[in-house]
Structures are given as C-alpha cells and as structure tokens.
Amino acid sequence: MLEFMRAATQGLIGRFIMAIVMGLIILSFVIWGIGDIFQGFGVNKLAQVGSVEITLDAYRNAYQTELQRLQRRARRNITNEEARLFGLDRQVLSRLVSDAALDQQARALDLALSDQDISKAIVNDPAFKGRGGQFDRLRFDEILRDNGLSEKGFLREQRSGYLRNQITDALTYGVQLPKTMLEAIHRYQTETRSIDYLVLPPSAAGVIPAPPPEDLQKYFEDRKQNYVTPEFRSLVVLSLTPAALAKPENVSDADAQKRYEEVKNERFGAPEKRTVEQILYADEPSAAEAHAKLAAGKSFDDLLKEKGLTQKDADLGTVTRDGLADKGVADAAFALAEGQISAPVKAQFGTVLLRVAKIVPSSVKPFADVAVELKRDIAMQRARAEIARLHDAIEDQRASGKSLAEAAGSAGLEPRTIAAISAAGADPQAAPVGDITNGPALLKAAFASDIGVDNDTLKIADGGYQWFEIAKIDKVRQKTFDEVKPEVEKAWRDDETAKLLSAKTAALVKKIEAGDSVAAVAAAEGNLGVKHASDVKRGGAKEPADGLTPNVVAQIFNVGLRGAGSARMDDGGRVLFQVVDVVVPVVDLETAAASAVSAEVKNGLAEDVLSQYMAKLEDDLGVKVNMQAFKAASGGAPDAY
C-alpha cells in the first residue's frame, strides 16, 4: 500500500489527488472521530473552586500519595477498591477543594510568611529530626524523595500550608466550651452506682423437656442458613521474602567491617553539636561597631544588655551544622573555638555576632556494638538481590507453562500446600491455619480466583513476592438435619432456657420493686448468694465483679435509685440487681480528667466551626466538580460530591 502511494505521488496529478484524499480523511476525523484533538480545553480539569482549577494530574498525584501512606501504615498492599471503601477518593478531593478555597482566602486577606519563619518551622518539625532530636538533612531529603517532591516544590507547599493554618488557627484559637456542657458530660462520666445482685444460672430455668421431633425439625428449617459448611480451597503457595532468605551467619566480619566504615558516621555517629548564641544587628556597620566594643573590653553579655536582650533571647540551642538554617551562620559558628566570638557575619535578615558557648564533640558507636545489626542488613540486601533473580527465574518457568510446583522446584524452592482453608483463614475444624505469609491479601486473591487460572504475582510489603495456585475447591454445602441434630437441639434448649429465665427474672424484678429485698428473693430461689458491687461507672465497675459485663452495666444505668432490673450473661444465665445508691460527684473542672474531657470536646467543637466555615467559604467561591472525570480518575461511581 505504501509503495503504491509513493508511486502515485510521483506525478503532479497524483500529488493533487492524494492531497484531496488526505484532506477528506482529516476532515472526517474532525467531524466524527477525534474532534477532541482540536478541542482539548478542559480535558484535564477535575474541579473549579472560585478562580482555581484542580487538574486530574493534581488529584491523581495526591490520591497516590495518600494511598501509599495508607499502605505503609497498614504494611500491606491496598487496592483501589478497598481505598474507595475507606472513602479515600472523596477525602482527597475534599482536601484539594478545601486547600484551594483557603489559598484564595489567604490571598484575599494578604497573608504572608517570611522565609525565615518557614525555615524555622521546617527545622523544628519533628518529622525531620534525627535520633539526636535535631534537624536531620539526610532525613529531610529522604522524606522528600519518598513523596516525589523537590525542595523548591516542598517549600512552596509548606508556605501555602502555613498560610492556610493561619486562617484555621485564627478561627479555632480560644474556643470556649459552655460550662453547662462540661458539667453534664462530667456528671455522665463520673456518676457511680452501687448495687446488690444475684446470678441465676441457666439451671434456674428448670428442666427443659426434649422437644417434639417436628418442633426440632421446624427449628432447623427456620435457621438453615446457620448450618452450612463454608467454602474451602486447597492452595499451593510460594512465598519469597528477604527475611526468609537472609542468612546473617554467612556474612563475614570483613564484609561487616567494610560496611561499617562506609556508614559509621551517618548511621552510628552523633555529629558534633554546638551551643550557639547570636546577636542580630540591622546592618553591617552596627555589627562592626559592636565588635569593636568587644575588642575594647566589653563582653558578649554586655552587648546583650545594651540591646535589652537576655541570654535566652540570643540562644539558638545546641545544634548540629545542619540544624542552622542559614548556611553562612552555620559555617561561621562551626569554625569557632569554644567560647570564641565571631566577627560580623552576614545573615539572611541582617548581620550577626556569634558566640559558641559549648562544643559537644562527635561520637561513633564501636563496630562490636553494631556488628550484628550490620550483618543482618547485609544479609537482607543480598536476599533482596537473590529474590529478584528467583522472581525472574520462576516467572520464566511459569511463562513456559510449568506449574507452580515445577517452577519452584527448578529454582530449588519448595512451595507450601494448604490442604483446606476458608476465606476466614480457618481449617475444616474451625482452627486458624497458622504461619500464612501475606495472609489477608493472599486469601482475598485466592477466593477471587479459580482452578487453572494464571494468577497475578502478589507483592509482599517488605519487598518479597508470592505466587499461588488453586488446587481444589470444596463449595459451600448445606448440612442435613441428621448431621447437625445435636447442635440444633442444643441451640433449641438454649433459646428455651433464655425465654424461661427472662420471664422468671421479670417476675422477680416486680417483687423487688414491690418491696422485697434482693436477699429475700435469693433465699426464696434456693439460697442463692447475694453480691454487692460499688463504684460502678458506665465504663464498668472500679473492681469488676462476676457477671458485670457491659450489657449488665448498661442496664444498671437504665433504672433509677432503688430500681431493679436484669440482664443476660454470656453463659446463658441472668443477673438480677437492685440499685441501692447513686453518687454524682461535685464537678471540679480543674482535675486532669476534666481537662482531658474538655480538650476532647473542644477539638470536636473546633472541627464543627471549621466545617461550617469551609462550607460557607466554598459556597461563596463556588465549587464545580466534573463527576465523570472524578469517576474515571478514581475508578469509582460517586453520585455526588
């Protein structure tokens, strides 16, 4: 075809005809096929918040960042479907919309933040501090790399974030809670009750006669769904993890010593620290004049007094070189001897004089203290390299049609065969199947597959891989009445016992409310033991007594003083009680417990204030979301923002 077209275009007429043909083709694409090539405006637009556009790329990047963060916390792979069930897609979109609205509000309010304040905030951020509690530049760079950020981009995001915080902090600062609300919550949480009670065992219901066969059969028919065997699957599983393959005992002392020399300063060393003090001057001449006073006999402390400063005002802390945000100041401070004062140093926001009050020398842990850790790390590194080789070898074998057992055997590995396992991880005797690597992800994938399916390789969180095959499937089966007759009869008897005991305790409650004591009722029921429980709170008894389970405690607080009630126990018996005392402590809002409650409620109130503010701000700016684009980007099917 191409040769024909080349030949046709050799002459003038041929070129003319081909031009017409190509023109018609292009026109047809424009009209019917690819008009979006010429109408690309807005194809990457997900949402519009006021004058700010949120792009699909921005949403995808934010979504992936949050998904990876969630996976690191969960220490396993999380699918998009699971993430949507958690509401991650909506949370990310909501945050982007809120950030866009707050950014516009910050600009409207002319809010600003100096470079010095941003640098100080980053240096003091706990996320970027090393083992010594000081800013760690290596950790800072590592976190930026993990999140796919450049330093410039991170600083831009931080500036926007701090400005947004100025607005939200101003809204919630000094939020005061109504005293009546705190008192009500405090009374609810601190009210205590004392009860007299007795326990009626299941035998108190009397002898339950054997049920007629037709009643038992009907009981089974009404509850058939309770008597089925779960689906079981037989799996062939091969798991490769660095921890399983690593052999620290095979790492020589020489290899460990070599690694120690490479990383000892960064990993096992505490860098030199200095206690640095500075006096800031508006310009270089002022600093030079102050430095001349030092030469004339004045001290650094004298200069502080002249400026009305204290030593605390001048203290930059005990820091590493990287802990000082201004490189010029850091270089000057770490060039001084202990107690020495610098010449004027040009800084970001003026000129400074520096004094090094104390020097803490650097230190390094000896090799003997870290040899075991280094050998383990080297073994893990080698294991990861070996895993990559084994992964490729097994994938090659599987691609050639080999079974998982054959592929594993060719690589010198032995897969594990699980004879029968349910989706809940139990064997046919309902006991948990132990030592399942990557259990939740494996079971989910295995019960979504079938016999003969070439399953995708699963990734394990620590850098490993997992393969599996379905060898056999035993489907869900309805058990017959004859198979489960003993279980059915026991369940029937338990239900009958519960009914009789409930009716009996209801009658006994009426007796107590009519004036009988708990002791009198206990004596009439066969000299049952009467117990007493004090200081029972809604969270449970101060010294938990037998039978006071959460459902019993809930019932205790459902009746008034001298009131009686009953509740079922876990073993099928019932607790019969009477409230003999109620104590509501005097409210003291200065206690630690009250302060904790106040802080918790205040956080909730602050969140409500912010939610209302954001709703009004977004309403004023106007928010439009392209739901089709959102659906495509997140893979879900939301019906509204």
Q: In what order do the strands lie in the sheet with 315-319?
A: 315-319, 273-281, 350-360, 345-347
Structure confidence at residue 599 as a pLDDT band (50, 70, 90)? confident
What are φ and ψ of residue 561, in 5° steps? -60, 135
Q: Which residue has the higher pLDDT, 191 or 65?
A: 191
Q: Which residue has the higher pLDDT, 637 or 179?
A: 179
For residues 371-376, average pLDDT: 91
Is residue 641 within 8 A of residue 623, CB to CB? The reply is yes
Which pLDDT tens digit goes with each residue over 193-248?
999 999 999 988 888 999 999 999 999 999 999 999 999 999 999 999 888 888 89
Average pLDDT, the chain: 83
Closest CA to 395 of 385, 410, 384: 410
Contacts of 217 (CB under 8 A, 6+ apart): 481
State the Cα angle at 104 between 100 and 105, rounded to 5°. Answer: 115
SS3 315: strand
Distance CA 156, CA 126 (A): 19
- Give start and end residues of each alpha helix (H) in 9-114: 12-28, 56-74, 80-85, 88-108
Q: How many CB atoms lie within 10 A of CB 199?
A: 20
Which pLDDT tens digit goes with each residue over 127-184?
777 766 677 777 777 777 766 667 777 777 788 888 888 888 888 877 777 778 888 8
269-270 and 232-240 strand pairing: unpaired
The CA–CA distances, whole Å, from 304 to 276, 280, 318, 351, 405 equal 14, 10, 19, 15, 78
Structure confidence at residue 12 as a pLDDT band (50, 70, 90)? low
What are φ and ψ of residue 489, in 5° steps? -65, -40
